[in-house]
Structure 1
Amino acid sequence: MNENDLDGAFGLPSKTATRLYLLALNPTDSVTEGFLPAAARLGLAVTLLTDQPDAHRRAYERHASAGGALPELDIAHCDVRDFREVIGHISADMSVPGARAGRTVAIFTNSDHLQVQAALAADYFGLPGKDWRAALRTKNKAELRRSLAAAGVDTLWCAELAPGQVPSDHPRLAGPGVPYPCVLKPREGVASEDVVLVADADELAERVREIRTRRPEVYLVVEEFLEGPLQTLETIGDGRTLHALAAFRTDISAPPYFIEERLELLPAPPEPHTGQVLDQLRALGVGFGACHTEYVVQGDRARLIEVNYRAIGDQCDLVLAELLAIPLFEHILRTHLGAALPTDLGARADGRVRMEYVMADRPGRLAAAPAASVGDHDGVRLDYRPLREIGEEHPLYGTNRDFLGVLRATGTDQRRIDEAVAGFLAANEWVIAP
């Protein structure tokens, strides 16, 4: 299929409008191995705006040297956390006579931190994009709770601490009725960073002091602890149609932290929980592009933990595209190009996957670990990728930064998948030296 065929098949704008502006902070597998190759397959030229250009250049050089596909790519420095700088950069770029003038068709990001900025920039230029209000509601965890309560779809006890404010100065936290144990977390955090379960008022005060020592500027949220099995819902929408694409069951570490240790793809998004989650997403204004939602199952009720208005990460999006046998990353980009999604995505339903994250259990230097490998065993494909180099020394973070490697196990038989994972873990060793 050539570029002209792609234009017709995906309903894209004309060939003269082919530039995608992609906003990013640090390099991620989702962008390097997912969205950039998809942009290349769609025939798009990409300008990547980032505050870390050198890191991206190194990541893409490694990817290209390993045979990975990349589009026509320019990497430009920009303060992407400031939507005014993003708009100014794109506007200046478009005004230069020549190849780029008038060719912007999309502004996109897969970063948790940049959804509002990308949405505002897209709106400024009259391009398809997410509603910036919905992006803000999902990123700001206090606003998420207020919005769900105002819509009448769910109410959770919640209090917000401003920088410098301590629990004893907060009227809700200083008074009776705090539903301990509670979850303390950054208002706009990601990846379980500084997310901790606190048992009582003394522990809450101590944990707040600890976080403030490292991050004095951060807003914090204290909210009711939702007990129950943790699941995810992966959705994709074009602003009109919202597809429930897949669902994972998630195993997390023992309290007080909430680190994802493994994810297992469910045979289908379960009901009635999926319908309830979709209703809550619509109440938040979510329905454009990809969204990764985490929720707790309490009987027949789905209680939202958080909404990440982007594709699921930690290589789960890569394995989903492979397992469902659909052009997932192209579909996501298509929505930002103004194209409608198919009413039927044509996804395979017989695939199963288990994502197993090997974690450090102590601080120190990684002295030994298996190398990257891909192989098939009894109908199961095992793909192991190191996430930390031999010789690297780290503290114990209590987040997914403790991951040493990720094992992707795919097939059609869950029992065989579980046995293959157990065998791989037993046959390999990860050694952390003091």
Structure 2
Amino acid sequence: MRRVLVLNRYRLASAAFHRWIGDAAELYLVNDSARTYRRAPDRDAIEAGYAQIVEVDDYLDDATVLPAARDLIARHGIDTVIAFSEYDVLRAARLRTEFGLAGQDVASAELFRDKLAMKRRAQTAGIPVVPFAPLGSSDDEVARLGYPLIVKPRHGADSQGVVVVRDASELARVTTALDDPTAYLAEQYVEHELLHTDGVVVDGELRFFEAWQWSQTLLASHQDASAPTVALTLDARDPRRADLRDLTRQALLALGAPPVTAFHVEFFATDHGLLLNEAASRIGGARIQPALRRIHGVDLAELTARCTVEPRAAVALPPPLAPAGGFLLVYGTPDGRTAAPATCPLPGVADYETTVPLAGGDTMNVAHPELVVSATAVGRSRDEVRSRLDDFNDWFVRSTTA
């Protein structure tokens, strides 16, 4: 039986590896104590599902996570490491490389994390990308991109640390303020619609695939936190689905995706066609996961874990549960709002979460603390889903005391 180490910073209610692969593997867990299993209603089942659980207090610190993981691997002869969060992809790769384990290695993980290396590799493979240049390279190389520019960290995530630069003097100020300009890249600002794809690839085959369209870009949503961001699945007959599927597969191949991985790939839809923005060998964030469970009955973490443990096993996917679906996000902080409803009564809407204190004084255990409110919805069409999410936002604003 395989011995599997899981690095986990998600709620175990939505990352139930002990239920998904416990019969096929002996499981060990390094868990974020902020998401401690001890508060879970099924605590006893979780404890019984793992040979050993180690919880660490500062999960974002490699100095706490890696020693715990190394100890478990060395003492128990672990042969497989599973990790899905942005923080764990490179950690898991380092552990595999250090102990000679199969799976994504450091070179592959770095290529998916370093946006500059990623774009260079994709461009070499003939995949259209957003025009870019390393920050700190020659002024002429950056200036050729034109203004405005987007400056972003090479290893950033979720549009954090991304700034818009409108002229050469502003670029000079931004560059001077950075501790290490070479840790950033500049990109040409292009008008676009944000699309992304999510799924699981096994030996080059897209075992599961879904494509989405966003109402605004991530950068725009962070700049105007009060405006809700809505993501909707593309219609089955949308011709862009086939193009996105093909470009996703090309990008994963060019970037050396491991034999089994979840993926999240972002594209810009422009007047000149689709451009690759970024690709990740992990599960996408926001509310992608709960939305996919509502639309397809598919959990990307479960599917990836099962395929990792038994890659050649036939994994039957359920038929879709709804023709269309999506999710709504409002970034920011509660800003003094209190007394949010504990539940949402609207039809077709689920996975309601808010960081606003509830009417009874309690707070929710939310997946994303940077969101004021979020929810998923399904429907018979994209228009119905959008209407339900708009109604949800109106309901939340009316029902929350400022």
Common fold by TM > 0.5: yes
Aligned match of 1:230: 194
Q: Does 1:359 align with 2:331?
A: yes
Q: Secondary structure at the match of 2:254?
A: helix
* Superposition TM-score, scaled by structure 2 size: 0.80
Aligned match of 2:393: 425
Q: Does 1:48 align with 2:29?
A: yes
Q: Secondary structure at the match of 1:410?
A: strand
Whether the 8 Å CA contact 2:130–2:188 is kept in 1: the answer is yes
Q: How far apart are the structure 1 equivalents of 2:257 and 2:117?
A: 14
Q: Report the Cα offset of residue 193 of structure 1.
A: 0.5
1:25-424 alignment, distance < 5 Å: 27-29=9-11, 32-35=12-15, 37-43=16-22, 46-49=27-30, 53-57=32-36, 60-64=37-41, 71-72=49-50, 74-77=53-56, 86=66, 89-90=68-69, 92-96=71-75, 101-102=76-77, 104-154=78-128, 156-161=130-135, 170-172=137-139, 176-208=143-175, 212=178, 219-252=183-216, 261-268=229-236, 270-286=241-257, 288-298=260-270, 301-340=273-312, 342=314, 345-348=317-320, 350-360=322-332, 365-368=335-338, 370-375=340-345, 377=347, 380-389=348-357, 402-424=370-392
Q: How far apart are the structure 1 equivalents of 2:249 and 2:89?
A: 20
Q: Secondary structure at the match of 2:155?
A: coil
Q: How far apart are the structure 1 equivalents of 2:142 and 2:99?
A: 48
Q: Report the Cα offset of residue 142 of structure 1.
A: 0.8
Q: How many residues align?
A: 381
Q: How far apart are the structure 2 equivalents of 1:67 and 1:200?
A: 59
Corresponding letter in the other structure for 2:20: R
CA RMSD of aligned residues (A): 3.7
Q: Report the Cα offset of residue 347 of structure 1.
A: 4.2
Q: How far apart are the structure 2 equivalents of 1:151 and 1:62?
A: 48
| Structure 2: runs of 5 or more not aligned | 362-367
Whether the 8 Å CA contact 1:241–1:341 is kept in 2: the answer is no
Say if 1:364 and 1:258 are closer, same or farther in 2 by CA, change over 3 A. Answer: closer
* Superposition TM-score, scaled by structure 1 size: 0.74
Q: Report the Cα offset of residue 346 of structure 1.
A: 4.3
Q: Secondary structure at the match of 1:271?
A: helix
Q: Report the Cα offset of residue 254 of structure 1.
A: 8.9
Aligned match of 2:6: 22
Whether the 8 Å CA contact 1:273–1:297 is kept in 2: the answer is no
CA distances 1:35-91 after superposition (whole Å, capped 9, x unpaired): 2x14333225543336xx43232xx344437999674351244988659983x6545
Aligned match of 1:7: none
Q: How far apart are the structure 2 equivalents of 1:225 and 1:245?
A: 28
Whether the 8 Å CA contact 2:130–2:276 is kept in 1: the answer is no
Say if 1:239 and 1:226 are closer, same or farther in 2 by CA, change over 3 A. Answer: farther
Q: How far apart are the structure 2 equivalents of 1:175 and 1:225?
A: 12
| Identity %, equivalent residues | 19
Say if 1:202 and 1:372 are closer, same or farther in 2 by CA, change over 3 A. Answer: farther
CA distances 1:262-313 after superposition (whole Å, capped 9, x unpaired): 2111234712232123212211112521010110123573211111211112
| Structure 1: runs of 5 or more not aligned | 1-13, 162-166, 393-399
Q: How far apart are the structure 2 equivalents of 1:173 and 1:39?
A: 55
CA distances 1:184-205 after superposition (whole Å, capped 9, x unpaired): 1111001111112222122333
Q: Secondary structure at the match of 1:49?
A: strand
Aligned match of 1:11: none
Say if 1:144 and 1:84 are closer, same or farther in 2 by CA, change over 3 A. Answer: farther
Q: How far apart are the structure 2 equivalents of 1:367 and 1:85?
A: 36
Q: How far apart are the structure 1 equivalents of 2:381 and 2:157?
A: 32
Q: Report the Cα offset of residue 145 of structure 1.
A: 1.4
Q: Secondary structure at the match of 2:121?
A: helix
Say if 1:119 and 1:262 are closer, same or farther in 2 by CA, change over 3 A. Answer: same
CA distances 1:164-207 after superposition (whole Å, capped 9, x unpaired): xxx6xx41368742321111111100111111222212233344
Q: How far apart are the structure 2 equivalents of 1:330 and 1:388?
A: 30
Say if 1:129 and 1:322 are closer, same or farther in 2 by CA, change over 3 A. Answer: farther
Q: How far apart are the structure 1 equivalents of 2:198 and 2:313?
A: 15
CA distances 1:329-349 after superposition (whole Å, capped 9, x unpaired): 322112332423648634417
